Structure 1
């Protein structure tokens, strides 16, 4: 393949709409010097606290970091965590439509970290009400007209209850729809342009393959059953495999030299795939870019993004 080059403003004109579950990722960083006298557990002496916008909000952040325009549509509670998510994502430069559901608390994931190792994660979550989700669907119906590509980020928290309807609306209007799936029922993603399960998620739906040939056959079968344009399976240290409607498949090996944290890496990959889908890259170039951004973000601790300048630099050094 010829040298792949992109510019800082390559995705500048791409308008994206991100819909899905948002959450506040809180981090308590510190050190562990002793075991608690109350129970055989480590005592974390907290030295620093950070908060980052996770889930679909992290997808929006990744799109902005890659130079695209982003509109985030989701649901938060009427609480400080919801307001903090909005402050964070507004500061990144995203357009936000966050519906307030006073009946729930905003999803929060609290991670306690010592010496770059996660000790514990505590989750606080509730599903949005049907009333607020119906309002989101109305907002989505209007917002999809102004988007070049739609990203549906499903974390299984209830924010994408109407995902099948959302896909149908977008496709009727000629929009590409990229889905990060969750759960074992993929029938609701039928007709999407692309879905991006990791290997564990793929196997939960398509079964465990006995060989590489069996894996390829299962992937083509799943893509065909769901009437997808393409299917991307991310395979951790084995890289990524992309399957097309014409029966094609290509594989790209992983590029990360050091892996510190894989949390949020899927957000980075789906962001790049969405932008590449409406840009002038072929499948081989798209996979190269996807592996490049994944390699960047897993080398960072916590919920992170790949900046466009980092992508350009890594492509240049890999020539």
Structure 2
């Protein structure tokens, strides 16, 4: 992964205009300059920002620090039972969304699911809040079962319908 990040940074991939979305890993924090969207979880955000996240205000502070540190366009921090926080481009106020997960059995794959669904929704033209809601719903499906679980369109639509009722 390090070689891929380096190749993108120095232009060897020819992907300067392609959005760069990262679910960051602590071993690679130094490689995330110029990303479009970073989605650390609470622990990763605390580790890289130096901010202990024990409130919404601290989550926002950590996101602002990381956006500057990584020269990121947008930040999202997943906060486990506390939901997630989105820091949109060029804004200093966050969007906080409560979790929709009801039964949590296994968080494996939840972060990747949030990242993928959020990025896809934004690419399709969704608002930051709608994209966050969709990502949250998908993550709720993933954590409701043991092991990594794909989110198929039928189950996703059913969950959206259930929550909308």
Structure-1-length-normalised TM-score:
0.47
Q: Counterpart of 1:251 in 2: which secondary structure?
A: strand
Structure 2 contact 8–16 (Cα < 8 Å) conserved: no
Which of 166, 172, 179 is 2:8 aligned to? Answer: 166
Residue 192 (structure 1) aligns with? 35
Question: How far apart are residue 161 of structure 1 and its match?
Answer: 3.5
Q: Give the root-mean-square deviation of aligned CA atoms.
A: 1.9
Name which one, 1 or 2, has greater alpha-carbon Rg: 1
Residue 285 (structure 1) aligns with? 130
Q: Which runs of 5+ in 2 are unaligned?
A: none
Structure 1 contact 167–189 (Cα < 8 Å) conserved: no
Structure 1 contact 193–228 (Cα < 8 Å) conserved: yes
Render the CA deviation track for 1:262-287: whole Å, top value 9, x for unaligned: 11111211211221231110001011
Residue 304 (structure 1) aligns with? 149
Map of 1:38-77 to 2, 5 A cutoff? none
C-alpha distance in 1 between matches for 2:9 and 2:122: 16
Which of 92, 95, 102 is 1:250 aligned to? Answer: 95
Q: Counterpart of 2:20 in 1: which secondary structure?
A: strand
Count of aligned pairs between the two proteins: 161
- 1:239 counterpart = 2:83: yes
Structure-2-length-normalised TM-score:
0.88
Structure 1 contact 241–251 (Cα < 8 Å) conserved: yes
Which of 64, 69, 77 is 1:225 aligned to? Answer: 69
Render the CA deviation track for 1:235-264: whole Å, top value 9, x for unaligned: 111111011222231011111111111111
Residue 103 (structure 1) aligns with? none
Structure having the higher helix fraction is 2
Render the CA deviation track for 1:121-175: whole Å, top value 9, x for unaligned: xxxxxxxxxxxxxxxxxxxxxxxxxxxxxxxxxxxxxx43441332554685411
**Distance change (3 Å), C-alpha of 1:210 and 1:300:** closer
Q: Counterpart of 1:176 in 2: which secondary structure?
A: coil
Question: How far apart are residue 300 of structure 1 and its match?
Answer: 1.3
**Distance change (3 Å), C-alpha of 1:184 and 1:213:** farther
Residue 116 (structure 2) aligns with? 271
Residue 214 (structure 1) aligns with? 58
